[in-house]
Amino acid sequence: KHFVGYGASQAGRDYNSTDISEHRLWSLYLPPFKAMLDAGVTTFMTGFNDLNGTPVTGNRYLLKDVLRDKWGFKGFVVTDYTAVNELVAHGYAKDEKHAAQLAFNGGADMDMVGQTYLKYLKPLIEEKKVSGARLNDAVRRVLEMKWRLGLFADPYRYHDDKRAAKRILTKENLAAATDMARRSMVLLKNHNQPLPIDTKKINSIALIGPLADNRYDMIGNWAGAGDRGAQPVTVKEGLESILGDDVTIRYAKGATHSYLLSHTGMSSLMGINVPVSGQTKEDLQSDIDEALQIAKTSDVVVMVLGEDQRMSGEASSRTELTLPGNQQALMEAVRSLNKPLILVIMSGRPNDLRWADSNVDAILHAWYPGTMGGQAVADVLMGKYNPAGKLPMTFPRSVGQVPLFYNHKNTGRPIGSANPSHTPVEYTSRYDDSLNSPLYAFGHGLSYTQFEYSPPTLSSEKLTPKGELTLTVKVTNVGDRKGEEVIQLYTHQKVGSITRPVKELKGFQKLEFAPGETKNVKFTLTPADLAFFSADMTWGIEPGEFDVMVGGASNQVQALTFTLTD
């Protein structure tokens, strides 16, 4: 889910319309769904969006022509919550009966919650607007999945209280949760290596922020049966479990991480309820003052800031990427003390971290780290785990850069070395008030050790239509800690029948290195790796010159050139 184009909503607002060219649809949005189908996925869920004017829940081209006929999908398609009913609001169906007809004939086998099929399929079949064969086909697909899940043999097999008691929150599962959380975290900045925290050099830590001793937000939105009030381990608890009595931890909330509205009693915006901090300006300043007091008497400051879990859930679109509430004011106040300042961010989106990047000493992005998130954060901060995560998206400098992604096109007037010499710089594709580059690039992520890449080599300067090409690069851990590195491979076709992205990720390897260890890392490229949808929408390769790039992030690569021959 959600099939398809749901991530391209206009203005970044959930449920909004999407308008995607055929080339972009097939090149960018459909491939992940095809990969999932090839991996064995047996159900697809439609999105709420309309795509190029046709709601996907009633889109016969997508659900039948592409998914069934072209891709050979054998499972069933379920709508999202009341998506059939919403065909009326879209202006695509005149009423719910008409909506049921369009969705069912369009290829949606199951109506989630809306009950339009329950109410209207029988009269639609009697009126010959829906065929009995189509009904039998949909019923067969749904029953097959129930059979494959074993529900005919034991309809209660997934409602076993005894099994749940034995399996949920076991020691082994909590250890796995801790490990997954640690592996997902990304060290964005570590200027002069304040991380990991050296307990031999400090006696006290000021732990500040609304997410520092917070259970409720740790497991994020859509958390199922998670008990927010009891299950999660907080960052404060995680640090206490490691430090014991050796280091004093002083805690203050310091700020709110929810939306701040005026204290005049305003509690809604355009009739929609939004979170309210419930604090006056005096309360907020008192919280900051308390944080400053403990920071003054501590050796190092750890701030845990970010977003309320509800801000990253469905229907939680924002017009700003800044940290909500008075967290920015809190950061600036604490920074004025000139204490070593470490920032942990918890959120489900890229935030505007320009000020933090310029002013704090280290930044660790923990996302919403889950039940054992506090322990995982503490393990990383104290060096019990060496972070190795890499960003799966680009972090902009400001919301005005959005959408921003690594695999963009060059334009006819690119800024930088590719710019034609006769074009004055002021007439290139740029901003007057910002660099084009992101704050943190796709694939970025630091470690407590350092890795050096040798100049890469190619097995040949030519790749034939039936051949393969091997890139080799030596990667060395030049630090004094064991660590993991994600080595990334990108390509760029210099000329094509349709303009090509400046780089495309073609492979990666995550490898562990002992201190001082060198590994020969090899990537193999075949012509299939270089195929794309050309100008006439045929899938295949186009001979020509390519750049191949390797490195530790999309903006930190070394490049070589080869030619794909006829």
Query: Can you give the three-state secondary structure of 78-128, one letter per residue?
Result: ECCCCCCCHHHHHCCCCCHHHHHHHHHHHCCCECCCCCHHHHHHHHHHHCC
Q: Which residues face 248 on adjacent strands?
A: 204
Query: Within the chain, what is the greatest distance between any pair of CA atoms?
Result: 81
- Given the residues 80, 109, 111, 379, select the one marked as catalytic: 80
In whole angstroms, what is the distance from residue 390 CA to residue 557 CA?
A: 15
Task: Provide the 3-class DSSP secondary structure of residue 403.
Answer: coil
- Phi, psi dihedrals of residue 426, rounded to the nearest 5°: -70, -15
Q: Which two tokens stand for residue 309?
A: 């879990």
Task: Provide the 3-class DSSP secondary structure of residue 370.
Answer: coil
Beta pairing class for 362-365 and 532-533: unpaired
Give the list of residues 6+ apart from residue 409 with CB closer than 8 angstroms, or none: 499, 500, 501, 502
Which residue in this structure is represented by tokens 């918890």? 346
In whole angstroms, what is the distance from residue 128 CA to residue 323 CA?
A: 56
Among this protein's residues, is 80 annotated catalytic?
A: yes
Is the backbone peptide bond immediately before 56 cis, with ω within 30 degrees of 0?
no
DSSP per-residue codes, 127-182: TTSS-HHHHHHHHHHHHHHHHHTTTTT-TTTT--HHHHHHHTT-HHHHHHHHHHHH
Among all residues, which ones are annotated catalytic?
Answer: 80
